[in-house]
Every structure is written in structure tokens, then in C-alpha cells.
Amino acid sequence: MTDHTINKAVLRRLLSYALDDPKKLGYAILLLLVASLADVSGPWLIQHFIDHYIARDQYPLDMVAGLALAYVALMLTAAWFRYKQSLQFNQIAISVVQRVRKQLFERMINQPLSAFDYMPTGKLVSRITNDTESIKDFYVFVIGTVLKNVVLIAVMLVVMCLLSPRLAAVVAVLLPVVMAIMVIYQRKSADAYRTMRDLLADINASMSESIQGMSLIQLMRQEQAFSQQFSVLTRRHLASQIGVMKLNGLLLRPLIDFLSGVALLSLVALFGVSGTELIGVGVLYAFISYLGRVTEPLIELTQQLSLLQQAMVASERIFGFIDARQQAYGDDTRPLASGQLACRNVSFSYDGQQSVLDGIDVELPHRGFLALVGHTGSGKSTLASLMMGFYPLTEGELTLDGRPLASLAQSVLREGIAMVQQDPHVLSDTVRENVRLGRAVSDDDIWQALEKVGLAGQIRLYDAGLDTRLGSGEANLSAGQKQLLALARVLVARPKILILDEATANIDSGTEHQIQQALQILRQDMSIVVIAHRLSTIIEADEILVLSRGQIIERGNHPQLLTQQGHYWQMYQLQQAGEHLHKLEESAGVPEAS
């Protein structure tokens, strides 16, 4: 959207959702037309009664009763058809919002991970909730109101022309002036509504991040700072709303009421000059009645510009996300036959400026065990993400089963390679659903996977077993147990390549030994890639890569790297010293810090 005009392409696209079902929209417009005709016929009946009966002082009972019944019937008809058309437009609006939300969410979960690197969670939630609600308001209020009022005004102008073309010309002068006011309002309000909508997204983002990081906020005693930050956002949002309200108060009802008053005085003046012989009291009454009925639709139309402006801003943001580049996959649908993995001169940068990986070369045979070690920021997790296909390579080639990763279909990639992350996500659902994640997995397979990772005993302690809900108050897992649960998810799928990203960081030594035994069994049919901080978990690795600033500075197996007495040897000696000190403390009876 430009700064001062409505983006016609966005408006056409927004309207296209309703046009996909022309029968419903046509039915709603038909109801609207009937209601408008019934509504406009009321003053015409009264005009007819005044000029033909009151002015002549004749009151035939049958005609008066007929007119009264006809008037009541028209008003009931107008009310009933307006009710039906309102329901119809609401159904259309809700249907459109559901479609947009489904489409937006589907596109969102298929975005490349790079799309979420700099997008706060609250802003994404705002796209699906607040922005789609603006689209619903657009259909319910803007489209419904515009159609209703345009039809109503058109019908009234036709009736007024039939009654008196001269008086109709006076009223018609009002319309272009109102259109000019509407254009001025739209131009003045565009930036204001865009700012207000952006600030609302910032407020949602601030709330989401504060809730997610509540433990950190309270730990660092930053409650006041975050509260002030939130207060600043809400004050700015309030100021933008007040600015919009001032604009509404100036350009909407006061000006249109003033123009309506001018038109009414013009009618009275013309009536006084021409006399009742040329116009008639009933015609004047009808015109005054229609003028009042024209004024409210005009005010209502102008007021809907604010909702139109919000819907345009919201639609621009929604369509921008829907049209964004999706995660690209290949067309090769053949399942992986082996866990062979190769990186050849792989380089990568997140922002295109700062290199994160530089010239990585590695060969992992089927059933191999590769370990990645290095200090924080060395590129270990980035290399694992590239192996998963989360990001496209900046340079080089990465192959799985001898085939370029970029050529593999999504189903092949996600079924053939799996990852257990350091901080796995636990759904607010049952243990069963947390393990199978919508896949067709039997309870026996789930229990077997839980047994292998050492979590079955804990689950059996719960009364509901696999039906125990996690993350909702029934049961809470420790950080180590969450990693075991994530490993069980992988075990039921049996991928060809398994990546463990610091997955044993929060597990005690006993559980770690149990996982190592499970990995030895899994190696019979899959390759293992382990990103490790605790070097005791990778002693059996076939090859260990030591990364530093995105480059491989050392490589070899555990004995070879110790013989080199380089960076890996220093890391190993420090960890051995720490474990030795811990054992001395335990033997001396020093209590472990809580």
C-alpha cells in the first residue's frame, strides 16, 4: 500500500475470497435490495397519504386502513430482510476469515526457518488473530454497509427524481461533496492506521516475549523495566488512536451534518419560493425524510473508511506473508537407502555478510558416528541445521545417500533424517501424542521407544499412563526427561540419520550411559551425528570435528586427537579435571549445591 491511496490489487484480492462463492454473495445482495425497496417505500406512502387525503380533507376508511397496513408490512419486511442479509454477510465473513487463517497458518509453517530468525512470536500471532479479525470486520461492516447504503441511496435518489427532479437536484449536490470528504479522510488516515496496527503487533510481541522469558525477567529483577517498556508501547498506541479519533471527529459527522443542514435549508428555501402548488406538502415531507435517511448512510459510509483502512493494512501484511518464499524441496521421492552423508566445501551465512561456516568437508558413511565439538558460536548447530535442510547452502554441496539434499522431496528428507535438539518442545497434549506427533504408531512401539531411552518407568508412575497430559498441570517433565521424550519420538520413526544437538547436556551420567547403549543398537541401521559439549558422550565416535569460527581446526577419532595435544586435548583435560574434582567432593562428603 502506498502512503496515500488504497492498494487496488490488495482490495481486489480481498474481495476475491467472497467472489469465490457468488451464489451466497448474490443472495445477500438480493436480500439487501428487497430490504432497501421496502424501507424507501415508507415515506412514499406517507407522501401519498398527505397529498391525496390530508390536503383534500378526505379520509376514506378503507384506503387509510390499507395504507396503514401497507406501511406496517413494509417496515416489517424491511426489518426481516435486513436481519437475513446481516446473517448472510456474517456467514460470508466468517467463512472468509477461516479460509484466510488456514491459508496463513499453512503458509507460515512452511516458511524457511530464516523467516523466523528476526520475527517475534507475538507479531506472528498478531497476523493470525488481530489482522484476520480486521478482514472479518471488512466483510461484516464495510462490504455490508457499503452495499446496503449504496443501494439505499440509489433507490432513494430514483424515488426523489420521480417525485420532484428539482428538489432531487438539490439533494444530489450533497453527494460529490461527501465523496471529496471521504477521499480527504482516506488520505489523512492511511498512515495513522498503519502506525496503530504496527504498534498493536509490537504490543503482542512484547507480551509474548515477556511471558516466555518470565523466569529470566524475575531472576534479573527486570519487572519494572519490562513494565515501563510495555507502558511506552501502550501510550504510543493510545496516542495514535486519539489521533484517529480526532480525525474522525473533524471529518466525519460534523462536516456531513453541516452539509445536510445546508441541503435542508435549500429545500425549505426552494419550497418557500415555489409554493405548495408546485411541490406539495407531502412531497416536501418525503424529501425531508429521505434527506435524513441519506445523511445517516453517508456518515456510516465515511465511518467505515476507518475499518477499510485497517483491513487494507492488515491484508497487506497477511498477503505479504502468504506470498513470501516457501521452503523449497526437490522432486526426488525415493526413500533414503542409507545414512551416507557428505559435505563438500560447505559455506554458509545467515545474513549474507558474516560467514558462519567456511569450507566444511566431511564424509559420514552409513552406520557411521560423527561428532562435532567446539566453543559456543563455532558453527556446530548451524552445520546440523544445514544437514536437516533447514537453510539453503550459501556455497558448496551437501549430499544424503549420494544424492544432493536440495533434490530430495520433503517427505524423504523428514523421514530419512531426524534431530533431537537441546531444548525440545513438549506439546500440551498426552504422552502418546507427544511421541507419535500425528504419525501412525502403535502403543507397543511407543512403550518400546520409552523403554530404550529410560523414560518408561516414569510414565508408568502416572495413573493415566500414555494418556497423561504434559505441560497442562497433570505432569511436568524435567529438562533431561524432555530430551528423553524427544529421543523416543525419533526412535519410533527409525530414520537413516540421527542428529543429537547437545541432547545429553541435561542428563545424568546413568541415563547418559543408557542412551549410549541405545545409540549403539541404533547404529546398526542408521548414522549418528552428535553435537556434544560433554566429551564423554563421543569417545566412541568414528570421527570428531573440532570447529572454531566456522572452520575445522582439528579432526580425527578420540585417541588421535588426544595424541595431537591440541584444542580437543585441552577441552578434554579441563573436563577430566572438573569430573575428578567433583568425585573428590563427593568422597569428602561435601553436599552438592542445590
To the question of pTM greater than 0.75 for the whole model, the response is no
Among the listed residues 545, 449, 527, the one whose alpha carbon sits nearest the alpha carbon of residue 489: 449
3-state secondary structure of 292: helix
Q: How far is CA 153 from CA 33, 160, 471, in A?
A: 11, 10, 57
Please report which helix (H) or strand (E) contains residue 363, including its range: strand 355-364
Q: Residue 549: phi, psi to the nearest 5?
A: 55, 40
Supply the pLDDT for residue 364. Answer: 92
Concatenating the DSSP letter of every residue in 397-449 gives EEEETTEEGGGB-HHHHHHHEEEE-SS----SSBHHHHHHTTS---HHHHHHH
Round to whole Å and give the CA distance between 366 and 340: 4
CATH assignment, 341-587: 3.40.50.300
CA torsion, ordered 433, 436, 438, 439, to nearest 10 deg? -160
Note the pLDDT of residue 557.
92
Alpha-carbon span 161 to 166, nearest angstrom: 8
Instruction: Specify the pLDDT at position 271.
Output: 57
CA separation for the pair 101, 127 (Å, rounded): 9
**Per-domain residue ranges of the chain:** 8-322, 341-587
- Residue 343 has a pLDDT of 93
Total residues found in the chain within this entry: 594
Q: Report the b/e string of 35-73 with b at 16+ CB within 10 A.
A: bbbbbbbbbbbbbebbbebeeeeeeeeeeeeebeeebee
**The predicted structure's pLDDT at residue 276:** 46
Give the pLDDT means over successive 10-residue stretches in the chain (594 positions): 60 83 84 80 72 68 78 85 84 85 82 69 73 81 75 75 72 71 69 76 79 77 84 87 74 62 63 50 65 66 71 83 79 90 92 86 92 88 88 88 90 87 81 87 89 85 88 71 83 87 67 70 83 83 92 92 90 79 64 46
3-state secondary structure of 503: coil
371: cell is: 561428532
CA distances for 95 relative to 12, 136, 147, 410, angstroms: 18, 9, 19, 30
* Topology of the domain comprising 8-322: ABC transporter transmembrane region fold (1.20.1560)
Residue 235 and residue 199 in contact, taking contact as beta carbons nearer than 8 Å: no
Cell of 324: 513470501
Name the grid cell of 495.
530414520
The per-residue b/e assignment along 452-474, b for 16 or more CB within 10 angstroms, e otherwise, is bbbbbebbeeeeeebebbbeeee
Put the strands of the sheet holding 395-400 in their side by side order. Answer: 355-364, 341-349, 395-400, 403-404
Q: Work out the angle at residue 321's Cα, subtended by the Cα atoms of residues 14 and 328, and round it to the nearest 5 degrees.
A: 125
Q: Which long-range contacts (CB under 8 A, 24 or more apart) does 552-555 make?
A: 552/360, 552/361, 552/362
- Looking at residue 566, its amino acid is G
